[in-house]
Amino acid sequence: MTGPALTAFGSLLRQWRGRRRLSQFDLSVESGVSARHLSRIETGRAEPSRRMVARLAEVLDVPLRERNALLVAAGFAPEWAETDYWDERLAPARRAIAMILEHHEPLPAVVTDRFGNLLDFNAGLGVLLDEVDPDLLRGRPNLATVALHPRGLGPRLRNFEEVRRYFLDRLRAQLAVDEDPAVFALIEEVLAREAVGSDDGGWDGSAPSPFALPLRLATAWGELSLFTTIATFGAPRDVTVAELAVELFFPLDEATSAVFAAAAAGGEAGGIPGSESVRPARAED
């Protein structure tokens, strides 16, 4: 292995150690690699084995994509495959996700990649996207873009600033482990968005503060109030699977719950406007 290659790995290792706020001594204790040897690795004067790279990545809790980058920087082949979401090899994972999406109806549920791009969804999402410009939903739309765009949910968000900060926090957390240019671009996009419409700044103290950040959306049939939970795969062995997020929307009040129930019934209960919403085109490969 050449000096520059060793230095590249050492630099990455030092970055990850810094992100985890571990000294060389701390990492030495947890990994079983001597602090002296770690110092030599970080300065490019020693060569790590593949097994040592794997051990250090495990101790530092490095995501699979970045573990591959560490292996390549150390002169080894990547270990973890990155399979397209719609590839037949991921069919079992998609079946599991489909069960979650289906059982969550009539409430919305979505599947996103590491950037928040929409990969899959259920019928309940149509209620939220009823007034969104169809052009924003082509290909693999990004949730932050759709939520904050003036032709998306932006003008109808009652707590625009709260939602904007939420996406910023998520993207900045992603940036801490993934300095992909796409993440920087999304952060710039979110920072540039401004409230258009009746944003009231969020919770005003007139009701108990919700236990989770709500999505408060003004619609033709009243204000919808929802919160979300995010599920991920345990012990993934594929980069794509490791980065999948299944986000489930839940109602914060009975009125919101009734809207989705009526929409699922075809709009007959209560005459819900827009219950015939056309689902966005399924994301294409």
Q: Is 48 helix (H, G, I), strand (E, B) or coil?
A: coil
Instruction: Please write the tens of the pLDDT for every residue from 229-277.
Output: 999 999 999 999 999 999 999 999 999 999 999 988 875 433 334 433 3
Q: Would the pLDDT of 279 be above 80?
A: no
Q: Which of 173, 163, 171 is nearest to 187 (CA)?
A: 171
Report the CATH fold assignment for 88-264: Beta-Lactamase (3.30.450)
Lookup: tokens for 149: 């765009």
Extract the runs of DSSP E, i.e. beta strands, from the chain: 109-112, 118-121, 215-219, 222-231, 245-251
Angle formed at CA 229 by CA 277 and CA 175, multiple of 5 degrees: 100
Least confident window among 24-33, 167-176, 182-191, 271-280: 271-280
Domain 3-73 superfamily per CATH: lambda repressor-like DNA-binding domains (1.10.260.40)
Instruction: Please write the tens of the pLDDT for every residue from 70-109.
Output: 999 999 999 999 999 999 999 999 999 999 999 999 999 9
DSSP-derived secondary structure letter, 157: B
Task: Give domain limits for the chain.
Answer: 3-73, 88-264
Q: pLDDT-based confidence at 202, cuts 50/70/90?
A: low
Whole-prediction pTM value? 0.84
CB 283 within 8 Å of CB 138: no
